[in-house]
Amino acid sequence: MTNPALIHHNAIQFKKSIIQLCPNIWTAVGYAASTQHMIVGANSVTIVDTSESTKAAENVLAEFRKITDKPVARIIYTHSHRDHISGASVFAQGKDIPIIASAGFASDLIDVDPDMIAPSQALGRRTLAQFGFGLTSDQRVSLGCGPGERPMEGMGAGHIAPTQLISENCSMDLDGVQIDLIMAPGETSDHMVVWVPEHGVLIPGDNWYHAFPNLYAIRGTPYRDFGAWAQSLLMLEGLQAKVLAPGHTMPVFGAKNISEVLLTTRAAILHVMRDTAAGMDAGHSLDDIVANLTLPPEIADKPWLGEYYGKASWAARAYATGTLGWYDGNPTNLGSLASKDRAQRMADLAGGIDALQKAAENTSNMQWRLELCDHLIALDQPVQSLKANAMEALADTEINATARNTYLWEAKRLKELDASQASSD
């Protein structure tokens, strides 16, 4: 089963389309996890963002070629995330063209130095889970930020490092098309948006898309500056754009609509910040802050703030730990018990391991079942299938694509583990 709202989001927001934004700018939606844009100048074109794979980039270039055969003269990256920078070689077509990016350009996903101390394998595994690599197409119905189905060939293969770094806001002539490049820290600190004043077209990168903002990515991300993101949304709203062409999902047309989506998204970020800070000030635990977090109706009702990609509860956790770190102010948490030690004590309280397992099997609360299963697994009990089934049940109703993919990916992994243990017994 799949949450129907997630199926609807995927069908509407990632429908394969080449969309004309104004007389000389087109956007490709649904060909890759991200969107790509083409700005047509007098004798050449500029590509803004390049997708995550060479195959997706080839498909988009073929579509753009139906519109114009003018050569690609330059590429602009809105930011350094891999899904925007990995098809550049296809658009450059072997030519040595300028690749323009913010001076802060620094991906958290490319050029992982194996000699550097970093939890790279954890990041890799969690990225596979979040995007549902290896799941069937029925399972991976959506990425939340992109279509569930997309080309995988040449994934990450076509990146070209920037050759021209922009350190402050500036104007640029793209072969007769005047644009402004504006620094706008948000989903990443290196965000640089493209603004075309003549046509009122704004390409904001990932600072806005049709989903709750991904203030924390469960693959694992350093703290994203909530305040800076909210501030950038206000600045972008001030441009009074007529067309908004985000780095994921469909474009938005009309100054009033654009103003509304930008300002309500900003309000959502500020609400999470305010609510979480108030809970921390009151000395509440993070679990309670999250349990009590509700978005006011004027935010929660907006279709573009559905939690298909980001999630308010995860954002609250990220805000709390990003501002004051892991210690929540409760001295109980200055120390800890090892999982197995805690699990044994839980089993003793429950009346033994068998009773603990019965409780896990009998509860209808899937979150509670997962927590009890973790104790049983810590005690080397073979409850992998029970935990996997609980994750699959949560995936059935989950609206968030990355949570759904992660539940299903980890369930698959546990079942495979279970099967290989059974066969070696």
Residues of this chain that interact with Zn ion (CB under 5 A) are: 34, 81, 83, 206, 247
Helices (H), strands (E): how many in the chain?
15, 13
Question: Which CB atom, from 145 or from 353, has the smaller least distance to Zn ion?
Answer: 145
Residues 6+ positions from 165 with CB-CB distance below 8 Å: 100, 101, 102, 103, 105
CB of 86 to Zn ion, least distance (A): 11
Question: Which CB atom, from 213 or from 247, has the smaller least distance to Zn ion?
Answer: 247
Contact 226, 267 (CB under 8 A): no
Token representation of residue 385: 């299938």
CB of 191 to Zn ion, least distance (A): 10
Rounded Cα–Cα distance for residues 113 and 340 (Å): 34
Rounded Cα–Cα distance for residues 408 and 420 (Å): 18
Residues 6+ positions from 354 with CB-CB distance below 8 Å: none
Residue with tokens 């003018």: 70
Question: Which CB atom, from 83 or from 328, has the smaller least distance to Zn ion?
Answer: 83
Distance from the Cα of residue 348 to its chain's centroid: 41
Q: Is residue 370 helix, strand or coil?
A: helix
CB of 63 to Zn ion, least distance (A): 20
CB of 303 to Zn ion, least distance (A): 20
Question: Which CB atom, from 109 or from 383, has the smaller least distance to Zn ion?
Answer: 109
Question: Which CB atom, from 83 or from 398, has the smaller least distance to Zn ion?
Answer: 83
Report the residue closest to Zn ion, judged by CB. Answer: 206
Question: Which CB atom, from 55 or from 81, has the smaller least distance to Zn ion?
Answer: 81
Q: How many CB atoms are closer than 10 A to CB 126?
A: 19
CB of 227 to Zn ion, least distance (A): 21
Question: Which CB atom, from 26 or from 131, has the smaller least distance to Zn ion?
Answer: 131
CB of 338 to Zn ion, least distance (A): 38
Question: Which CB atom, from 40 or from 101, has the smaller least distance to Zn ion?
Answer: 101
Where do runs of H (alpha helix) occur along 334-400? 339-350, 353-362, 366-378, 384-397
CB of 49 to Zn ion, least distance (A): 8
Question: What is the DSSP-derived secondary structure letter of residue 83?
Answer: H
CB of 107 to Zn ion, least distance (A): 11
Q: What angle do CA 212, 215, 220 make, to 5 degrees?
A: 125
Question: What is the DSSP-derived secondary structure letter of residue 80?
Answer: -
Residue with tokens 């992660």: 406
Rounded Cα–Cα distance for residues 213 and 225 (Å): 12
